[in-house]
Amino acid sequence: MARSPLLNVMTQTAMKAGRSLTRDFGEVQNLQVSMKGPADFVSNADRKAEEIVFQELSRVRPDWGFLMEERGAIEGKDSQHRWIVDPLDGTTNFLHGIPMFAVSIALERDGEIVAGVVFNPASDELYSAEKGGGAFLNDRRIRVAARQKLPEALIGAGAPFLGKGDHARFLYEMRHMMAETAGIRRMGAASLDLAYVAAGRFDGFWERGLSPWDVAAGAILIREAGGFVTGIDGAKFDHVSGEVACGNEYMHKALIAQLKIADTAYSARIPKPAPTDAA
């Protein structure tokens, strides 16, 4: 496949950061049984990968800004362009020695995501896309799955965890989707979940409580693979909104419809506040 110079820079940067993570990932099993524990080590691995991405991208486009998981927002002289970066998506997987994690890099131009790269160094899978250029896994063109029957669909989901998200709502959504589909998968790395939809491995995906760096690169992968990406209510996708629903045309509509049913059931069971006495 022919990549633009910018997409080449993004892929090379993601792979360089990924190699750093791979070296550190090899130590996780040993750290799991140490008295100190692996948490600080993983944080350092995350920061090292982010520093690699920051240095590499700053070198080629010194005036562009950043939005990064660890460093936050960094304003650039060029206000039209911004890199959106998650140097280690799937930190908990990494921490537990599970080879499902990724480096995610997206390019935002005037508020629109125009290029994205997701790299899983553990499997050596590089997903890339550029607006109008299609989506690729390594050098092979990818498309979203063609299934049109929800009972045959495998759907990805992102689950809330300790201290984060609306657990009760998710349980309603999960209970409903389990009854309507062939299966639900929770991978623990949203960028890879979205890449799996783009590659036709998942038929759809939904999650709430996300950050821009979780979804920016994955969203353009799906669109360039022929899929649809919106908010969970079907509203226009916004990578800063914190939620996503996606799939091919049929699965996307079916997923949103089923989640709406689940959300209505959930809302109906929330106790209404007692009326207040008039003054």
Nearest-angstrom CA–CA distance, 219 and 277: 49
- Evaluate whether 230 touches 141 at the Cβ level (below 8 Å): no
Nearest-angstrom CA–CA distance, 155 and 18: 27
Q: Mind giving me the DSSP string for 56-78?
A: HHHHH-TTEEEEETTTEEE--SE
Angle, in degrees to the nearest 10, between helices 167-180 and 249-268: 130
Angle, in degrees to the nearest 10, between helices 39-60 and 5-32: 170
Nearest-angstrom CA–CA distance, 121 and 75: 29
Tracing tokens 């935002």 back to the chain, one arrives at 108
124 carries a ligand binding annotation: no
**Structural tokens at position 141:** 């063109």
- Evaluate whether 217 touches 269 at the Cβ level (below 8 Å): no
The answer for residues whose C-beta is within 8 angstroms of residue 215's C-beta and 6 or more apart is 190, 191, 194, 239, 244
7 carries a ligand binding annotation: no
Alpha helices in 159-248 (DSSP H): 167-180, 190-198, 212-224
277 carries a ligand binding annotation: no
233 carries a ligand binding annotation: no
166 carries a ligand binding annotation: no
Tracing tokens 């791979």 back to the chain, one arrives at 22
- Evaluate whether 205 touches 193 at the Cβ level (below 8 Å): yes
Q: How far is CA 118 from CA 18, 97, 103, 128, 165, in A?
A: 10, 19, 6, 6, 25
Q: Please give the annotated binding residues, written as ranges.
A: 69, 86, 88-89, 214
Q: Please give the annotated binding residues for Mg(2+), written as ranges.
A: 69, 86, 88-89, 214
